[in-house]
Structure 1
Amino acid sequence: MLQPITILIADDNHYIRKSLANILDYEPQFQIVGIAETGEQAIFLAAKLEPDILLLDINMKPLSGFAAIQPILENNPTIKIIGLSLHHEKAYSRTLFKLGAHGYMAKSESIDAMLNCMREVAAGNICIAHNKAA
């Protein structure tokens, strides 16, 4: 059996954290290793837990996901970061990729699209999943 893809969830919204965790709990291919509520916690847990993928809310306060990327990658250069946002801005995805992220997903995206994006990023590809209707 293949090793599961380990996931760290970082989002300041309780409902988003819980929803992502509930979705991933039903997917044997993925294993949640940690959940962070702040950018600071994301930096600490990414270094400590060394997950394969970090699902990172880019609009957290006080330290945004954008600001957390560099220290996360300095401590764990092999981690693959997927930025999460409620917004569908091309500028966000461009900024994420310039900072070293591997993916960008709209929080309103379908479950299948989110899971496919995580699989693509785990395989070493870049992924942008955003609801085109929004």
Structure 2
Amino acid sequence: MSKVSIMIVDDHKLIRETWSFILGSDPRFEVIADCGDPEEAIEMARAHHPNIVLMDINMVPISGFDATEQIRKCSPQTKVIGVSMHSQPAYARKMLQVGAQGYVTKNSSREEMVKAILEVDKGNKYICEEIKNIISEQLADTSSDGPDFQSLTEREIQIIHFIKAGNSSKEIALQLEISLKTVEVHRHNILKKLKLKNSASLVNFINSNPSLY
């Protein structure tokens, strides 16, 4: 039986080396490439056409979302599994929307990562247990007054991430190469969707819910 070829994309060298060692030690898998640059990852996927790409979503200069979309265009047979520290279901949803077949968090076990790779390689979609449990909890909360996490857009999630890192609206505008007014509109929409009154309450909410973003 042929091995499942894997490419690992993560901007942390230690993570790449760890997963290369773990997966390379499994006779079912072959790690054929790894890199820490999303643009390089697109070119490597075009050259090697791996069966599976493990894609970290938080990278620069382009995000894992954009890299996934480009890889799916240049190597349609390659299946992508998003890998992130974020357990917010909105990230998983966005990855699936841009063409990924799976999503696991960095809290996932080795056994779950292996399961995700095998399921996705067979053509199935895979969402890790941590995300599924959070979705179940959110669905169980039938209160109409609660925050509407699911309607947050990819850009709004990006901006929340910058706010959490302590960036001002002006700094966010420069980082994302958008106008200050656009950032303020996004911040207003975030407050509305999360049912918060002002920027101070947004910062408090983010700091009080570190696992969400």
TM over 0.5: yes
SS at match of 1:43: helix
1:5 maps to what in 2?
Answer: 4
CA distance in 2, matches of 1:69, 1:112: 24
Could you tell me which runs of 5 or more consecutive residues in structure 1 were left unpaired when the two chains were aligned: none
- What TM-score do the two structures reach when normalised by structure 1? 0.94
Q: 1:99 Cα deviation (Å)?
A: 0.5
SS at match of 1:31: strand
RMSD: 1.4
**Equivalent residues in 2 for 1:2-41, closer than 5 Å:** 2-41=1-40
Cα distance per residue 1:48-71 (max 9 Å; x no partner) = 001000000000112111111221
CA distance in 2, matches of 1:114, 1:69: 18
Letter in 2 for 1:64: S
Letter in 2 for 1:33: I
Q: 1:130 Cα deviation (Å)?
A: 4.5
**Equivalent residues in 2 for 1:1-134, closer than 5 Å:** 2-131=1-130
Cα distance per residue 1:35-91 (max 9 Å; x no partner) = 011110110101100100000000011211111122111110111000000110100
Could you tell me which runs of 5 or more consecutive residues in structure 2 were left unpaired when the two chains were aligned: 135-210
Determine what percentage of the aligned residue pairs are the same residue. Answer: 36
SS at match of 1:35: strand
CA distance in 1, matches of 2:112, 2:2: 22
Q: Looking at secondary structure, tell me which structure has more strand per residue.
A: 1
Structure with bigger gyration radius? 2
- What TM-score do the two structures reach when normalised by structure 2? 0.60
CA distance in 1, matches of 2:102, 2:69: 15
Q: 1:130 to 1:18 in 2, by over 3 A?
A: farther
Q: Looking at secondary structure, tell me which structure has more helix per residue.
A: 2
Work out whether residues 88 and 130 of structure 1, in 8 Å CA contact, stay in contact via their aligned partners in 2.
Answer: no
Q: Which has the higher contact order (CA 8 A, sep 6+)?
A: 1
SS at match of 1:109: coil
